[in-house]
Amino acid sequence: MNDARTQPEGGEPAEPVQEPALSVEPEPVTDDLARLWRPLKVGEPLPLFEPKPPSGLSYRPDTVCDGWSTKELHLRLASVRGYQHRADGSPREDDVAAAWDRRTGTVVFAVADGVSAAEQPHIGSQLACRSAVETMLAQVREGDGFVADWDHLLKTVRWQLVEQTRRILRHSEAGAEQTARLLATTLVAGTATPAEGEVRIQLVSIGDSGAWQIKRENFFQVVGGKMAGADGLVSCAVDPLPFISGVIRPTSFPLEQGTVLLVGTDGFGDPLGDGAGEVATLFRARLRQPVPPLGLAHLLDFSRETFDDDRTLVVLWLRTETPGGRP
């Protein structure tokens, strides 16, 4: 159940996780798995129904999840197909990828949300995540754990999208407009670099995917997200890849003890809203400590009416004395 790229660079982790998992004892066998895995209800839930298979030529799983821990960090990620896409037989348009540089201990990650109006948004988001992670990893190796040129990173992702468009359309002159019609996608890409006694986070965001921190029991938005218009209505403006307006500078900050970093698409950001509602309460309570990857996917698949978009989340916790969760 995993198509995300999460293999640590260079094979086995340098320092394998030694701690016991959070779920020390496996649960007794239950006869009612359907009940055990029912979506968590938040407020008024969506109707229950059997999902349709996704359309498209290539295999596209409904749900992906993954997780591992480095010496300094616990990482968990999940991407779930939205209820609307399950109902109408569309593939999951979100994607996610993460990787690790063994020498510096840097974790790199990306989430992307293919724009529904594009013809192949799931290809756009997958390509954006994978090329972003590969490019970040290459720069991290050369740059002592840091991405030195974020502009180059974004241009590389854009180039990959345009090249893929040219291959799909068999049109060697296809440019940004054709790419946008075929593969438009948002992107948040970032690194978590252990250095000088801290873990430094760097993030860039294109479009309305975003990043948040849970700090002192409150959500704080770090980058991205939807902005309300001047009249307080929800703004529909999305400026996705392959368009890059100006030079994008990374947001940089240390990940503090007791703080959880969440990087996700608007399928998570919209129901989270201002961080004061029931969805925020649920995630604050459940993510105080690392959860098993399957648990994150289940949590992210919560059911609340009108919120039926694909949802994707990467979550990072600083490694402390608290043992990290494994499934």
Residue ranges in contact with other proteins by CB under 8 A = 43, 46-47, 82-84, 87-88, 93, 113-117, 121, 184, 186, 207-208, 230-234, 236, 238, 240, 265-267, 270-274, 276-279, 304-309
User: Smallest distance from the beta carbon of 181 to other proteins, in angstroms?
Assistant: 12
User: Smallest distance from the beta carbon of 228 to other proteins, in angstroms?
Assistant: 8
Is residue 207 within 8 Å of 214, Cβ to Cβ? Answer: no
User: Smallest distance from the beta carbon of 65 to other proteins, in angstroms?
Assistant: 21
User: Smallest distance from the beta carbon of 208 to other proteins, in angstroms?
Assistant: 7
252 vs 306, beta carbon nearer other proteins: 306
User: Smallest distance from the beta carbon of 95 to other proteins, in angstroms?
Assistant: 12
In this structure, the number of other CB atoms found within 10 A of the CB of residue 101 comes to 22
User: Smallest distance from the beta carbon of 115 to other proteins, in angstroms?
Assistant: 5
Helix 121-142 vs helix 176-183: angle between axes, to the nearest 10 degrees?
110
Terminal alpha carbon distance of the chain = 14
Please state, in angstroms and rounded to a whole number, the distance separating the CA atoms of residues 211 and 220.
9
45 vs 254, beta carbon nearer other proteins: 45
Is residue 93 within 8 Å of 122, Cβ to Cβ? Answer: yes
Residue (of 71, 54, 59, 51) closest to 1 by Cα position: 59
93 vs 101, beta carbon nearer other proteins: 93
DSSP 267-318: HHHHHHTTTTSHHHHHHHHHTSS---HHHHHHHHT-BBTTB-S-EEEEEEEE
Q: Which of 271-300 are b and which e, b meaning 16 or more Cβ less than 10 Å from the residue's Cβ?
A: bbeebeeebbebbeeebeebbbbbbbbbbb
107 vs 187, beta carbon nearer other proteins: 187
76 vs 85, beta carbon nearer other proteins: 85
129 vs 316, beta carbon nearer other proteins: 129
User: Smallest distance from the beta carbon of 108 to other proteins, in angstroms?
Assistant: 23
Helix 150-169 vs helix 121-142: angle between axes, to the nearest 10 degrees?
140
184 vs 315, beta carbon nearer other proteins: 184
Is residue 190 within 8 Å of 202, Cβ to Cβ? Answer: yes
